[in-house]
Structure 1
Amino acid sequence: MAGLELALALAGLLSLPAASGLPLRPGPRDEVLAAALQRLREVFDIEELPPNVLPRKKPPQFMVDLFNKVADANGITRSPGLLESDVVRSFEDRVHLDQYHFYFDISAMEKGERMLKAEFRVFKLKRTHVPRRSDMKHFCKVEVYELLESGSKPQKKHLVASRLLSLYTEGWEVFNVTQTVSKWVGNSSSNHGFLITATHVFNNRIEHNLVKFAKSQGTLQESRNALLVLFTNSNKQRPPSFIPSATKQEMKPAKNDASHVPREAQVIESRNAGMSRRPRAAEIPSVKSQVTACHRRELYVDFHAIGWSGWIIYPSGYNAFYCRGSCLFPLGESLNATNHATVQSIVHTLKLSQDISTPCCVPDELKSLNLLYFDDKENVVLKNYKDMVATRCGCH
């Protein structure tokens, strides 16, 4: 419910008018806006806003395909259980010269994040030259080693995985490196990367030119760049409920200092600049709305409006929906009322107690939201956020 409550609060703030043509001056309204945006970052588990990297950086196709598999175009989860982890992090290879050495900086992992599985994904290129020697086999043994130290030759290494591969096919090869990466997570200084070797099957002779793997030197091979993919669960506690006032000192913008207003607030103010002031909508509902039965209404959260479109890849926004309407007796089946709500509505209608109000119209079914985005180190992350979209309303 916390994510939905915030979306409602933020939507109200975004609808507040701005002074036409006037510079941004922090005040009580800005304190509320700053607090709301800070709460939004907490809901989306973002301590610092990543840089605006779109559209100059292309996300790995594997991550885009994974997003499309687990979510629809709006980021709503297609089916629970398709993705066993809450977070999928991808790290691109940082070694551009050595054809067989791969290094991944995994320092972007957050504290308390529990790793479930790690995959080393590398694209094997097809061998085009066919040797004349009749004893040359069509298969080779590819071995993945963890480098135990850096800078030494010969390098100390530990075998992680191996398999037989055809010399004349190409495609992605995926190696399970969970145990090795778990060690790196616990001790970052032990991360010296991976080394891949290819060996002839018939005489165990190592030949480094036997098989080649895609690297990121050229734009044509950018989509084939090696990846380290981590599947993790976030164990962070749900942040406290949003209170629409800047009660914390660190949330308050400095007086007459626009630089202390969050970047999202400046984007919102800039977007609203030039709009004429208009009276706020009356908070007291009309008679017609009072008798409207509980139902679901649209509530679109636009990431462009809050200045997040530069680093969120998909989706551009989502419909959180919200519930509104009355829960008067008799409660029909369409209102999805609980037994408790039915009894409460009867007691209220018969005025058996002066203190009993009608049941509330609230979401009684929620779905999760998936975001594909760049983190502050330009790694691509797929994260699942629970209870973000109201799919059904009911009287409770």
Structure 2
Amino acid sequence: MSGRKSGAPLLWLAVCFGSALEAVALGSRAVWRNGSAVLVPDYMLNLYRTQSQLERTSNYGSATRARRRANTVTSFVDQSKDEPSAESHQQYIFDLSGLSRTEELVEAELRVLRKLPSDLEKLQSCAGNLYHLLLYSCSSRGSSGKPILLTSRTINILDTTLSTWDVFNIGTTLKAHYRVHRTTQDSRYVCFSIAVVSHLTNEVVSPSLVGLGSTGQQKNERALLVAFSRTRRKENLFREIREKMKAMHMFDWSSEDHGRPRRRQKRRTALAGRSGAAGTAGGGGAIGGGGTGGGGKGGGRRRTRCSRKPLHVNFKELGWDDWIIAPLDYDAYHCEGACDFPLRSHLEPTNHAIIQTLMNSMDPESTPPSCCVPSKLSPISILYIDAGNNVVYKQYEDMVVESCGCR
């Protein structure tokens, strides 16, 4: 039996201990959507890969209480214009319309790429090597009309020889923003700006001097706002998929050949054939007692006891690979077999199932047998692109059958 744990993923561990080698192996990936390329941030790819490994090994360890409650991570790319930063600050704008109002915002962070200074020696000689990065909100202002200082961090330009991502915790700010603008359209956009102050001279320097300028940035180098949230209700994957497909016009429901839906029907036929073959391949022998099956000598089809059978789901064959990034396939399994009397204890039958099975064994015409159904299910994580072209990591419950029972 798999070692998966149900419940929200422990995202903090995945973020903090994600392997750099995995990020290099995955790299940035562009997914085509409606004729345009959507770049998948390395951060989200690495988050998915690391979290998937933790799920397989159940090596969750300890985590902060906040992110333990999150089961959805949505990334928003900076929408500000690609132009030289002002002398005093660097601005970042994010469209948060893809953040559902029905979800509880648990935490949020702003991730900003800082490249190596173009002239490190000159910068150090003029203003030293220590600098304070001051993060302001330009979406709202204080009573004096000035931007509100949210948080700050100190950097040493000599600490790294590579580009690095500076991370600011903005969870409290984003929650307050939504409380104030809950009923207005103002909540769609949030704006932040970073000012840089020399620790040596206490003077403001241009952000571009310490590597924060946006000029010449590649798409995968743009600032990222990452929101950690938790849905208040259990997610229904089918409902969510249907809504997204309608919004993105991914299917032409009125076409004569029905396009991809017909391909899904072929896939179901193939799966049915596969599961039928698996059901006759032994794996437990015939069940004694009454019922309509039985493993007699008459050459009839043998009925196996209720057990877990293979079921492989391929999202690419379903035609969903243009919005589902990963996984492209997974083993879902299914339950199949007879629930004949006497029921085995490992099937964990309910009292009702025991009575129903007993009644069926005495009079099959009056009472149907109990059903072989999943008794334990586990979640999987899916990395996908939402209708707003934001990359989302979400954990969906009840996606993999771990064990079967009679109900």
Q: What TM-score, normalized to structure 1? A: 0.68
Q: Secondary structure at the match of 2:378?
A: strand
* Residue 302 (structure 1) aligned with residue 314 (structure 2): yes
Give the partner amino acid of 1:107.
S
Q: Secondary structure at the match of 1:370?
A: strand
Query: CA shift at 1:228, angstroms?
Result: 0.2
Q: d(CA) in 2 for partners of 1:67 and 1:263?
A: 38
- Residue-by-residue CA offset, 1:158-179 (whole Å, 9 max, x unaligned): 1011011102234122111112
- Residue-by-residue CA offset, 1:7-58 (whole Å, 9 max, x unaligned): xxxxxxxxxxxxxxxxxxxxxxxxxxxxxxxxxxxxxxxxxxx983699333
Checking the alignment, whether the CA contact within 8 Å between 1:144 and 1:159 is kept in structure 2 is: yes
- Residue-by-residue CA offset, 1:86-124 (whole Å, 9 max, x unaligned): 211000111222431111110112231221111111122
Query: CA shift at 1:76, angstroms?
Result: 7.6
Q: d(CA) in 2 for partners of 1:163 and 1:92?
A: 22
Q: d(CA) in 1 for partners of 2:256 and 2:214?
A: 36
Q: d(CA) in 1 for partners of 2:112 and 2:139?
A: 20
Aligned to 1:203, which of 201, 204, 208? Answer: 201
Give the partner amino acid of 1:174.
V
Aligned to 1:331, which of 313, 325, 343? Answer: 343
- State the match for 1:13 in structure 2: none
- Residue-by-residue CA offset, 1:118-149 (whole Å, 9 max, x unaligned): 11111222234213876843211111000146
Query: CA shift at 1:214, angstroms?
Result: 6.3
Q: Secondary structure at the match of 1:181?
A: helix
| Gap regions ≥5 residues in structure 1 | 1-49, 243-250, 252-257
Q: d(CA) in 2 for partners of 1:223 and 1:240?
A: 29
1:341-360 → structure 2 map (5 Å cutoff)? 341-342=353-354, 344-346=356-358, 348-349=360-361, 351=362, 355-360=366-371
- Residue-by-residue CA offset, 1:197-227 (whole Å, 9 max, x unaligned): 11011231001144222648444xx433210
* Residue 364 (structure 1) aligned with residue 375 (structure 2): yes
Q: Secondary structure at the match of 1:365?
A: strand
Q: Secondary structure at the match of 1:196?
A: strand
* Residue 172 (structure 1) aligned with residue 165 (structure 2): yes
Distance 1:223 1:69, change over 3 A: same
Distance 1:226 1:166, change over 3 A: same
Q: What TM-score, normalized to structure 2? A: 0.66
Coordinate RMSD, CA, aligned: 4.2
Q: d(CA) in 2 for partners of 1:358 and 1:271?
A: 31
1:180-219 → structure 2 map (5 Å cutoff)? 180-186=173-179, 187=181, 188-189=185-186, 191-208=189-206, 209-213=208-212, 215=214, 217-219=216-218
Distance 1:268 1:316, change over 3 A: same
Query: CA shift at 1:337, angstroms?
Result: 3.7
| Greater strand share, structure number | 2
Aligned to 2:330, which of 318, 331, 334? Answer: 318
Q: After superposing the two structures, state which structure 1 stretch, 261-270 or 116-125, moved more.
A: 261-270
- State the match for 2:285 in structure 1: none
Checking the alignment, whether the CA contact within 8 Å between 1:120 and 1:227 is kept in structure 2 is: yes
Q: Secondary structure at the match of 1:85?
A: coil
Aligned to 1:226, which of 206, 209, 223? Answer: 223
Checking the alignment, whether the CA contact within 8 Å between 2:83 and 2:215 is kept in structure 1 is: no
Checking the alignment, whether the CA contact within 8 Å between 1:86 and 1:383 is kept in structure 2 is: yes
How many pairs are equivalent?
Answer: 321
- State the match for 1:104 in structure 2: 94
Q: d(CA) in 2 for partners of 1:241 and 1:94?
A: 31
Q: d(CA) in 1 for partners of 2:57 and 2:400?
A: 10
Query: CA shift at 1:233, angstroms?
Result: 1.6
Query: CA shift at 1:358, angstroms?
Result: 3.3
Q: After superposing the two structures, state which structure 1 stretch, 64-73 or 233-242, moved more.
A: 233-242
* Residue 389 (structure 1) aligned with residue 382 (structure 2): no
Q: d(CA) in 2 for partners of 1:304 and 1:241?
A: 16
Checking the alignment, whether the CA contact within 8 Å between 2:264 and 2:318 is kept in structure 1 is: no
Checking the alignment, whether the CA contact within 8 Å between 1:54 and 1:311 is kept in structure 2 is: no
Higher relative contact order (CA 8 A, sep 6+): 1
Q: d(CA) in 1 for partners of 2:257 and 2:232?
A: 27
Aligned to 1:62, which of 24, 43, 55? Answer: 43
Aligned to 1:373, which of 384, 391, 405? Answer: 384
Q: d(CA) in 1 for partners of 2:387 and 2:253?
A: 20
Distance 1:76 1:359, change over 3 A: farther
Query: CA shift at 1:64, angstroms?
Result: 0.7
Distance 1:65 1:239, change over 3 A: closer
Q: After superposing the two structures, state which structure 1 stretch, 103-112 or 209-218, moved more.
A: 209-218
1:26-37 → structure 2 map (5 Å cutoff)? none
- State the match for 1:26 in structure 2: none
- State the match for 1:8 in structure 2: none
Give the partner amino acid of 2:223.
A
Distance 1:133 1:316, change over 3 A: closer
Q: Secondary structure at the match of 2:83?
A: coil
- Residue-by-residue CA offset, 1:341-376 (whole Å, 9 max, x unaligned): 445544544x28974443321111101122111112
Checking the alignment, whether the CA contact within 8 Å between 1:148 and 1:156 is kept in structure 2 is: no
Distance 1:322 1:264, change over 3 A: farther
